[in-house]
Amino acid sequence: MTALLSTAYLAPVEYYAQLYQRPVIIEQWDNYVKQSYRNRCIIATTNGLQTLSIPTVKPNTLKCLTRDIRIAEHGEWRHLHWNAIVSAYNSSPFFEYYEEDFRPFYEKKYEFLFDFNERLRETVCRLMHFSPQVSYSSEYLKNPDLDLREAIHPKKPSLRQSFPPYYQVFEQKFGFQADLSIIDLLFNMGPEAEKILLLYSGIN
């Protein structure tokens, strides 16, 4: 069964479990929804969870297609996001192995949020050594097989009741924190991250 997903900025582990488990269509033609994973991710820091949000250019109309949303250049967000990621994960076991794969995304300007997200997703999948079956919608899909466009959302309950735990830097302080950004899994587990996705996706 093919799943329909929205684009996402360093999406949570559940999102990548879907990519790992089944063919996926990423929606381009939906109306942009604020305060979703389209422009935000959640990481674990020494002070608890932190949300990183990419500022976007306010469209001239009430509705704007996700594929047309532009990244705003105010607020030095790239510098702030990268500093937050470094601060959160520089003591994780594998951050130094992947640091140079992610740093360029916070030095180069991307015009469109969709393009930025997809290049990041491709990088994450490459580093985790799996090649998902991904295609892009050519129109707004009204009756997909499995519609997860708004199901994986920071303000909604997770799709699953339990999550296989993995090592996290701040676990002793906060306990295991489930379904954070995929970089939490990658920086903490490195090459073992794919095995965690295998558990998350329910494939034996």
Domain ranges for the chain:
3-200
What is the residue whose two structure tokens read 């063919």? 23
Per-residue pLDDT of 91-138, as tens digits, reads 999 999 999 999 999 999 999 999 999 999 999 999 999 999 999 999
> Do the Cβ atoms of 69 and 114 come closer than 8 Å?
yes
197: Cβ–Cβ under 8 A, 6 or more apart, which residues?
A: 13, 16, 17, 20, 128, 130, 185
User: Global pTM?
Assistant: 0.94
Give the C-alpha separation, 47 to 174, whole Å.
Answer: 9
* Dihedral over Cα of 168, 183, 93, 161: its sign: positive
pLDDT band at 204 (very low <50, low <70, confident <90, very high): very low
Q: Both tokens of residue 3?
A: 């799943």
Give the C-alpha separation, 201 to 204, whole Å.
Answer: 9
Per-residue pLDDT of 16-59, as tens digits, reads 999 999 999 999 999 999 899 999 999 999 999 999 999 999 88
